[in-house]
Structure 1
Amino acid sequence: MSGDAMAEIILHVGAGQGPRECEWVVAQLARVFLREAEAAGLACVPVEPVEGPVPSLLLRVSGSGAEAFAAARCGSIRWIGTSPFRPLHKRRNWFAGVSRVPPPEAVPDLRDGDIRYQAMRASGPGGQHVNKTDSAVRATHLPTGLTTTSQDQRSQHANRRIARLKLQLMFVERQERGAADGKRSLWERNHALERGNAVRSYEGPRFRLVPD
């Protein structure tokens, strides 16, 4: 078995500063990528439940070919269609951004000793996915004050892992924002995605892939 057969990649799909339509596209892309991954013999699952439009989400992709799958989708994704919320809106192009969450070894400055994990009771609307126990976790990076939470997994260990993944993403974004010396952050750059070339385009309510 090759090393790639066991590959696991975490993808971040975000709407940046885009409107609700872009958040809707983010949620739809989770379903589209799941469908495409299954066709490619890969596993692709949301790290947390996806319910309705969301500003961002994490997807776990695993299996042989995961690297190529991720590489083909990282960048700007365009959806061409009528707004599901404002049918009279003239805009037809809506964007989301896809990027890889760096593995822990790629973020050596984010040390476990600097992270405080706290168990907490899950909050939210009380849907079937929300825990009623104290298995939710808040992770705080003490030197910077960056804080993330995870509450949708059944075990505290799983929520702790996801909270750290989110912290890695925030930490790298903060580093890059600093390195850019005032230039737009990774998150903010998503706001200008339409000015770049989309790596993939979909159209219509069924998200049909548009040929290059």
Structure 2
Amino acid sequence: MIYQISSGQGPAECELGVSKLWDYLQSHYDVTLLDTSQGYYAETFRSIRLYSEDDLAEYVGSVQWICRSPYRPNHKRKNWFIDFQLCETVRTDAFDPEQVVFDTFRSGGKGGQNVNKVESGVRAIYLPTGQAVVCTEERSQYANKQKALSRLQALVQKSEQDQQAQQKNQACRHHTRLERGNAQVRFEGPGFRRA
């Protein structure tokens, strides 16, 4: 599963909290870093996207860190909130030509009497997604099948790229939706101990 840790629109202390939560997760779970958005200070992050097979559902929502500000020691605020969200996953299986079904039909256009006698038009359907393309440009069924297969592969890859871009945009929108309060999990102190 893909998760995102975010400081929301919070100050540098929240960005430090993102970094500390990431360190905590690394020491307690099997997690893999996908990408980061750098924070104001070194070693801090505005957001981190990570992958884990472990169930991290208990962290989903608001995570509270109770600590005096390491950047502004005289600041009265001691409660810093971090957002932890489950991201939608995009299926990125490799295109499998074995999963393509061809449907043939008689096509109009160039080809003389051949058009009326032979089913040279081809409709290719990719079974996992239901996407389909039609090819009737060539006079032979074989050539139309090759073109249809190539177009279908490009269509499926484009669709996957669009879904990945949409997933990244959604992750950016999560970055602005941090709920302050109602924390699922609490941590305390500079050592980021679980409360």
TM-score, normalised to structure 2, is: 0.58
**Residue 31 (structure 2) aligned to one of 44, 67, 70:** 44
Q: Is the 8 A contact 2:2 2:52 kept in 1?
A: yes
Q: CA RMSD in A?
A: 2.8
Cα deviation 1:79-123 (Å, max 9, x = unaligned): 000111111111000011011121114xx9xx741577xxxxxxx
Asked if 1:11 corresponds to 2:3, the answer is: yes
The within-5 A match list for 1:180-195 is 185-190=173-178, 193-194=179-180
**Residue 101 (structure 1) aligned to one of 83, 87, 109:** 87
Take 2:8 and 2:25, find their aligned partners in 1: how far apart are those partners? 19
**Residue 18 (structure 2) aligned to one of 9, 13, 26:** 26
Say how many residue pairs are matched: 129
Q: Is the 8 A contact 2:19 2:44 kept in 1?
A: yes
Identity of aligned residues (%): 29
The alpha carbon displacement at 1:44 in A equals 1.4
Structure ranking higher in strand proportion: 2
Asked if 1:169 corresponds to 2:180, the answer is: no
Which amino acid counterpart does residue 18 of structure 1 have in structure 2?
A: G
SS of match in other structure, 1:189: coil
Take 1:112 and 1:172, find their aligned partners in 2: how far apart are those partners? 20
Asked if 1:55 corresponds to 2:100, the answer is: no
Q: Which residue of 2 aligns with 1:156?
A: none
Which amino acid counterpart does residue 17 of structure 1 have in structure 2?
A: Q
Q: Which runs of 5+ in 2 are unaligned?
A: 92-128, 130-155
Take 1:89 and 1:172, find their aligned partners in 2: how far apart are those partners? 33
Asked if 1:204 corresponds to 2:192, the answer is: no
**Residue 60 (structure 2) aligned to one of 63, 74, 79:** 74
The alpha carbon displacement at 1:171 in A equals 3.7
Which of structures 1 and 2 has the larger relative contact order (alpha carbons within 8 angstroms, sep 6+)? 2
SS of match in other structure, 1:55: strand
Q: Is the 8 A contact 1:15 1:97 kept in 2?
A: yes
SS of match in other structure, 1:18: coil
Take 2:32 and 2:87, find their aligned partners in 1: how far apart are those partners? 15
The alpha carbon displacement at 1:45 in A equals 2.8
Cα deviation 1:120-152 (Å, max 9, x = unaligned): xxxxxxxxxxxxxxxxxxxxx5xxxxxxxxxxx
Larger Rg: 2
Q: Which residue of 2 aligns with 1:40?
A: none
SS of match in other structure, 2:22: helix
SS of match in other structure, 2:62: strand
Q: Which runs of 5+ in 1 are unaligned?
A: 1-8, 38-42, 117-140, 142-163, 175-184
Take 1:82 and 1:189, find their aligned partners in 2: how far apart are those partners? 24
